[in-house]
Amino acid sequence: MANPTNANIHEDVGNVWDAIDGTTTTIVNGLIQRAQAVIKAITGTTSGEMQDQAIRALADGYAVQNAMSGLGPESTDLNMYVAMRDRFYQDAESLLKSKGYALDGKYVRFKRVNA
């Protein structure tokens, strides 16, 4: 797997794509670069399957967050967007935790439990 593309993000966020504020491909390229920078700062690299998946999940969350900026508080879609964004962020967090990292940049230590 490679770092995500605009097509990957479009596939993941579905109809939210149309609500992204600005020139979609330019905006999403920037969001992917932002996600890459975050993952690299946490793990030290953007290479690897876990990093690729975490970058994709984080970029998906950023895309939904961007689309939310165009919604008013009266929008009926707001709760759906929030839930979708949170799910993408949770996916990124879970992927990082599987390798001992967290989105807050802290190293997660796993304790061994004797059964």
- The pLDDT tens digits for 44-61 are 988 899 999 999 999 999
- Whether 104 maps to a domain, the answer reads no
Number of domains in the chain: 1
| pLDDT on residue 18 | 85
Measured torsion, CA atoms of residues 82, 88, 91, 92, in degrees rounded to the nearest 10: -120
User: How far apart (Å, rounded) are the C-alpha atoms in residues 5 and 27?
Assistant: 12
Residue type, 70: G
Q: Encoding tokens for residue 53?
A: 């998946």
Encoded tokens for 115: 């059964």
When pLDDT is averaged across residues 55-68 and rounded to a whole number, the result is 92
Within a domain: 71: yes
C-alpha 73: how far from chain center: 23
Q: Is residue 51 in some structural domain? A: yes
In a domain, 67, yes or no: yes
- The strand pairing partners of 107, in sequence order, are 101
Contact yes or no for 63/34 (Cβ under 8 A): no
Residue 25 lies in a domain: yes
Q: Is residue 78 assigned to a domain? A: yes
What is the Cα–Cα distance from 41 to 51, expressed in whole angstroms? 11
The answer to whether 27 and 66 are in contact (CB under 8 A) is yes
Quote the pLDDT of residue 110.
57
Q: Which domain holds residue 22?
A: 6-97
pLDDT computed for residue 115 by the predictor: 55
Task: Look up the pTM and report it.
Answer: 0.84
Q: Is residue 48 part of a domain?
A: yes
